[in-house]
Amino acid sequence: MSLNEWIFIGLFFALSWILPATPIVLGKILAPRRPNPVKHQVYECGVETFGDTRVQFRAQYYIFALVFVLFDVELVFLFPWALAYNQLGLFALFEMTVFIFLLVVALVYTWRKGALTWA
Amino acid sequence: MTELLQDIGLSHGLAVFIAKAVGVMVVGAFGLLWTLLGIWIERKAAGRFQDRLGPNRVGPFGLIQSIADTVKILLKEDLMPQGADRWVFNLAPIVSVVSVMLIWAVVPFSGSWIGSDLNIGVLYLVAVGAFGTVAVLMAGWSSNNKYALLSAFRSVAQLVSYEVPMVLALLVPVLLSGSMSTQTIVEQQHIMYLLAVPLTVLIFLTSGQAETGRGPFDLLEAESEIVSGFHIEYSGMKFGMFYVAEFLHAFTIGVLTAILFMGGWRGPFAEDVPLLGFIYLMIKSMVAYMVLIWVRMTLPRLRIDQLLDFNWKFLVPLSLVNLLVVAFVWKILPDTDQINSFGDALVPTLVLLVVNIALIAGVGAILRERGRRERQRVEARLTAAESAAAGD
């Protein structure tokens, strides 16, 4: 039974690539094609582009990504807990409170460090 | 369907496969066709919100405006900027549609109509939804355009941040129903969870709005700052696919709200007539979706620092507290593991509702106090600046 459910997901995955690809290919066939160098320039408000686009970027983005990873791992642990919650005793609640508290400490630490402030 | 095919003389495996394939085609085609109508509804509603008529020229009430747009966009020349990463550039619009379409595989349209009733449905939703972030980054990075790249950075920071409160909100229906299957969550809602945990619904809608990059959170396409966002270099049908993905994602948030919090297909006689369940689901999704459009049309855009502050310093702590409070109340209530009827659900729902109202009132009081202090601070600074200017 469970495997059958995944057959559907697999087929759906295949189809969901075909459905958006079809109109794009159709557009390729139907649309006019008269390329010239000006059309293929990068559009940056009419100002000619200079330098390389893929330059170094702010470290701030990276910090947010790190904080996200911290919480995402936490969420993965929360799912089985929430799923089995009705069968667990009161102790499970206290355990999870401690677990979340530890992560809140981490959040407060990053907050106090100023990592969450966009400067 | 499977029995019918077996009667013709096909083997069981093949019959199941064909039945699934037909189901896939129906759900997929419905998703895309609904987009055509849905975009019209959204543009009409947006028009009314802004005191204009919206599309009204093509066909009766502008009904076939979307089809006209599709034809127009099909005939646009497809351009790719110099220095673009060809493969990634072409894949990005497809990936963005795929990420949304895959969510529809686990949507229970009615008691018996569901693509795939996975026992880890909610986890699947989270996993597939995160796919969209990759598409945005792919588009921004491969375009070889500085504005597109800036927009991609911003949007990844935004999408990744708002995923945390969204998943924390998703945990609440999982906890209340004791299941991750979307069908079981719907079946367990003898009283819709919206009435039991309104705060969770608010958190879910807010972070859902941010996940779709709409309304006050549409930083990734702030046209006054970064031209038009990560899809600036796309034209023709590739742009069209980004547009479809955006609409479909926003509507899917409405569908998910309906399923997880508003009782999905449940309603009078929905158990006996599957079509009725489908209609109920669509009505509920539309209601949730209209709330999202309402917010989108009403509020001005946030700055990126405000956006991230709002998430990490307000929404994440709030959703953590909310989860623990719901878990605590759920544990001290008797017999919460055996809710099989409206009567069983009544007392827990009322208790949770009261606790939620208290929580909302408490949070509101804190916010008002902080807002008052912030206003005082700004006013003090303004008066200081004024008196300094008068003294010169």
Span B317-331, pLDDT tens digits = 899 889 888 888 888
Long-range pairs, B90-93, Cβ under 8 A, ≥24: B90/A24, B90/B238, B91/B138, B92/B135, B92/B136, B92/B138, B92/B139, B92/B142, B93/A20, B93/A24, B93/B135, B93/B139, B93/B231, B93/B234, B93/B238, B93/B239, B93/B241, B93/B242, B93/B245
- Mean pLDDT, rounded, for B37-60: 85
What letter does residue A94 receive in the DSSP assignment? H
- Mean pLDDT, rounded, for B369-387: 89
Look up the domain containing A85 and give its range: 2-113
pLDDT value, residue B147:
81
In tens, the pLDDT along B137-185 reads 888 888 888 888 888 888 888 888 888 899 999 889 988 888 888 888 8
pLDDT at B229 over 70: yes
pLDDT tier, A2 (very low <50, low <70, confident <90, very high otherwise): low
pLDDT at A97 over 60: yes
Long-range pairs, B355-359, Cβ under 8 A, ≥24: B355/B325, B355/B326, B355/B329, B356/B196, B356/B197, B356/B198, B356/B199, B357/B198, B359/B199, B359/B321, B359/B322, B359/B325
| A18 assigned to some structural domain | yes
| Contact list, A27 vs chain B (CB under 8 Å) | 73-76, 78, 236-238, 240
Q: What is the number of domains present in chain A?
A: 1
| Contact list, A24 vs chain B (CB under 8 Å) | 90, 93-94, 237-238, 241
- Asked whether the beta carbons of residue A104 and residue B317 sit closer than 8 angstroms, the reply is yes
pLDDT at B4 over 70: no
Q: Nearest CB to B308: which of A8, A100, A116?
A: A116
Chain A touched by B316 (CB under 8 Å): yes
- Asked whether the beta carbons of residue A19 and residue B153 sit closer than 8 angstroms, the reply is no
- Mean pLDDT, rounded, for B223-246: 80
CA B300, CA B289: separation in Å to the nearest integer? 19
| A118 assigned to some structural domain | no
CA B26, CA B31: separation in Å to the nearest integer? 9
Chain A touched by B146 (CB under 8 Å): yes
How far off is chain B from A16, nearest CA to CA, in Å? Answer: 5
pLDDT at B300 over 80: yes
pLDDT at B392 over 70: no
How far off is chain B from A103, nearest CA to CA, in Å? Answer: 10
- Asked whether the beta carbons of residue B102 and residue A65 sit closer than 8 angstroms, the reply is no
Nearest CA in chain A to B74: A27
What value does the mean pLDDT of chain A take? Answer: 80
Q: How many Å separate Cα B302 from the centre of its chain?
A: 19
Which ipTM was obtained for this model? 0.86
| A92 assigned to some structural domain | yes
Which residue spans within A22-115 are E strands per DSSP?
Answer: none
| A76 assigned to some structural domain | yes
Percent of residues, chain A, with pLDDT higher than 70? 92
pLDDT tier, A92 (very low <50, low <70, confident <90, very high otherwise): confident
pLDDT at A1 over 60: no
Lowest mean pLDDT among B15-24, B117-126, B277-286: B15-24
3-class SS shares of chain A: helix, strand, coil, % to 5: 70, 0, 30
The sign of the torsion formed by the CA atoms of A56, A60, A66, A71 equals negative
pLDDT value, residue B368:
92
pLDDT value, residue B10:
67
- Asked whether the beta carbons of residue B83 and residue A39 sit closer than 8 angstroms, the reply is no
pLDDT tier, B204 (very low <50, low <70, confident <90, very high otherwise): very high
Lowest mean pLDDT among B75-79, B225-229, B233-237: B225-229
| Contact list, B24 vs chain A (CB under 8 Å) | 8, 11-12, 15
Q: Nearest CB to B24: which of A11, A75, A118?
A: A11
In tens, the pLDDT along B251-261 reads 889 999 998 88
Chain A touched by B81 (CB under 8 Å): yes
Q: Nearest CB to B144: which of A4, A6, A53?
A: A53
CB interface of B with A, residues 289-308, below 8 Å? 304-305, 308
CA B356, CA B169: separation in Å to the nearest integer? 14
- Asked whether the beta carbons of residue B27 and residue A12 sit closer than 8 angstroms, the reply is yes
The domain segmentation of chain B, as residue ranges, is 1-68, 76-387
| A32 assigned to some structural domain | yes
- Mean pLDDT, rounded, for A8-22: 83
| A14 assigned to some structural domain | yes
Q: What is the pTM of this model?
A: 0.88
pLDDT value, residue B9:
66
In tens, the pLDDT along B111-134 reads 777 777 778 888 888 888 888 888
The sign of the torsion formed by the CA atoms of B203, B209, B213, B216 equals negative
How far off is chain A from B391, nearest CA to CA, in Å? Answer: 33
pLDDT tier, B372 (very low <50, low <70, confident <90, very high otherwise): very high
- Asked whether the beta carbons of residue B77 and residue A32 sit closer than 8 angstroms, the reply is yes
- Asked whether the beta carbons of residue B153 and residue A58 sit closer than 8 angstroms, the reply is yes
| A78 assigned to some structural domain | yes
- Asked whether the beta carbons of residue B20 and residue A8 sit closer than 8 angstroms, the reply is yes
What value does the mean pLDDT of chain B take? Answer: 83
pLDDT tier, B225 (very low <50, low <70, confident <90, very high otherwise): low
| A119 assigned to some structural domain | no
pLDDT value, residue B373:
92
In tens, the pLDDT along A19-72 reads 888 888 888 888 888 888 877 777 776 677 776 777 777 777 888 888 888 888
Chain A touched by B144 (CB under 8 Å): yes
